[in-house]
Amino acid sequence: RALIAEAPDVVTALRPCWMASPLSVSQLLAGDARYFDVVIFDEASQVLPEDAVTSILRGTTIVVAGDEKQLPPTPFFASGTEESEESREEAEAVEGYESVLEIMGKVFDPWDLTWHYRSQDERLIAFSNRHIYNERLITFPGVGLVEPVRFIEVRQPAGVDGQEDSSSAEVQAVVELVLEHAAERPSESLGVIAMGIKHAYRIEAQLARRRLERPELDDFFAAHPTERFFVKNLERVQGDERDAIILSIGYGKNRAGTLGLNFGPLTNAKMGHRRLNVAATRAKRRVTAVASFSAADMDLKRLNALGMKLTRLYLEYAAAGGNVLGDAGQQSVALNGFELSVMRSLEAAGLSLIPQYGAGSYRLDFAVQHPDRKGRFVMAIECDGATYHSANTARDRDRLRQDHLELLGWRFCRIWSSDWYRAREAEVKRVVDAYKAAVRAADAQDRGEAPETVAVAPSPPVELAPIIQLPQPTHSGLGVLGRPIHEYTRQQLTGLKAGIEADGQIRTKEELIREMSVRLGYLRLKSRIRERLTAIVEGRDVTPPQRAAASRRSYPPRRQRRW
């Protein structure tokens, strides 16, 4: 504090970007100067207005980012007392505005960020998109490689006392799922979310005991430095994300076999649905809901709080594999004449198409299935119809949607209506060729081999008038994909990084590293690949070919043994 007070210009010149909590700002920076040009609040729904004022005074421009559908500040944790509904209600009965996000939303017109990037399959977010966000989020379907949503009902023994707050059978089942994940999918990060704090403590204790019996799995629990394994109750999980999430309800039936409907934080009329929203949207690849009862055990007539009603719907949704969105259902989208013509021609050519595939507001015009494995999608086809023109900007419809679909594993093919009506046979042949190549690439990927690079040929030119020929983009310069990481030069990898960042999309360092790994054709992000790509991202790369060359030093040949 003294150093900053004496030389604020020097300190901010050396370190122009600072990250701190509002409390740290109050402790480190005197309130008599505006040290920064911009002050940004992230997760602003969790910041109390009185805590935010001290940071606002230190800047000139304020940017407030957050989600009003997620958790508000929870001051009762600061007291260190046990969780109780009475203290929870008192904490949430705050006069005025609950957060700095709510205040700013009343003063200014908020700018909605509607593109959802976290989920690699939209079924992970579709439930919240339908019931919480009223279909405002733009989401993208996955290619069907993994089962993104599933439900496991644990059989709870009858006649056992003390299961209402934390089912013992469910604790055992969750621990077994954690150990199974560590053994079978160690490359994926994992988190466990429990609805109640008592249930979270019991899972942690049982897992610690079981880990003593399975020391060979210890590497998994230390293998993800940026996304470490956790067991948390839902009050502490906002802001976290993991590849896989186990969502454990915890509450169970009493000795008489009756399910009580006091689900702690979910029964709160004002905040229960927001807590469920946070818990259900933490996964990037897969989520497993675990409970000792099914949705049928929750009497709909006895459910008053919105959080409890949505919990029942979510259990139904998970049990259906993420394919049933409650009473609202999935609305079908009619095809126009152009899309019907494309569908008939491609199906006649042998392609298995699902039109208007997806659950959100953005639908793929056609998702093309593998010929032998239904549900395994190999290519996305987009036409310049209603979905194409629904995007607000040309950048969205011509570039970003395709980029994000390819990041999720789709092979992408576009059909222009003008080309279709002028040269239909040539277009069908082009799409069929791309489809065959996509099937070969999918088969190679499923076998664990480096996927084949599929380049969809552009539509053949139609000479109607003189056309100015624009220069075509050059090759990426990476050569053959899937080579050992040390064979790529620093210039190649830096160019790849710059090309990915050129779309302006905000990514964490981990997301950038994973995307670079996928673009290089690697199926798994191994330690040596991660080490090299991390160095590239952080700008401290030491060219590995030197190290590789050192490992191949020539040694004098052994003398031949004389007989």
Residue 378 main-chain phi, psi, to 5 deg = -115, -20
pLDDT band of residue 460 (cuts 50, 70, 90) is low
pLDDT tens-digit map of 494-532: 988 888 887 767 788 888 898 888 888 887 788 889 899
Q: CA gyration radius for the chain?
A: 27
pLDDT band of residue 562 (cuts 50, 70, 90) is low
Q: Which two tokens stand for residue 199?
A: 């249930």
Quick one: CA dihedral 144, 145, 150, 154, positive or negative?
positive
Following CA atoms 330, 331, 336, 341 in sequence, which dihedral angle do they give, to the nearest 10 degrees? 30
pLDDT tens-digit map of 49-102: 999 999 999 999 999 999 989 888 765 434 444 444 444 444 444 456 889 999
Read off the pLDDT of each residue in 544-552 and give the average, rounded to a whole number.
Answer: 46
Q: Are 248 and 195 contacting, i.e. CB atoms less than 8 angstroms apart?
A: yes
Read off the pLDDT of each residue in 360-371 and give the average, rounded to a whole number.
Answer: 86
Q: Which two tokens stand for residue 28?
A: 């480190």
Does pLDDT of 450 surpass 60? no
Name the more confident of 316 and 556: 316
Does pLDDT of 291 surpass 50? yes
pLDDT band of residue 549 (cuts 50, 70, 90) is very low
pTM above 0.75, yes or no: no
Query: Beta-carbon neighbour count of residue 190 at 10 Å?
Result: 25
Name the more confident of 482 and 118: 118
Provide the greatest CA pair distance for the chain: 97
> How much is the mean pLDDT over the chain?
82
Q: Give the model's pLDDT for residue 328.
A: 42
Name the H helices within 7-137.
8-14, 22-28, 49-56, 85-92, 100-107, 126-131
Does pLDDT of 358 surpass 50? yes
Query: Beta-carbon neighbour count of residue 76 at 10 Å?
Result: 19
pLDDT band of residue 329 (cuts 50, 70, 90) is very low
Read off the pLDDT of each residue in 126-139 and give the average, rounded to a whole number.
Answer: 90
Does pLDDT of 36 surpass 90? yes
pLDDT tens-digit map of 224-235: 888 999 999 988
Beta bridge partners of 379: 368
pLDDT tens-digit map of 182-225: 999 999 999 999 998 999 999 999 999 999 999 999 999 988 88
Read off the pLDDT of each residue in 365-388 and give the average, rounded to a whole number.
Answer: 85
Picking from 325, 336, 329, the residue whose alpha carbon sits closest to that of residue 387 is 336
Q: Give the model's pLDDT for residue 142.
A: 86
| CB proximity list for 1: less than 8 A, separation 6 or greater | 27, 28, 29, 30
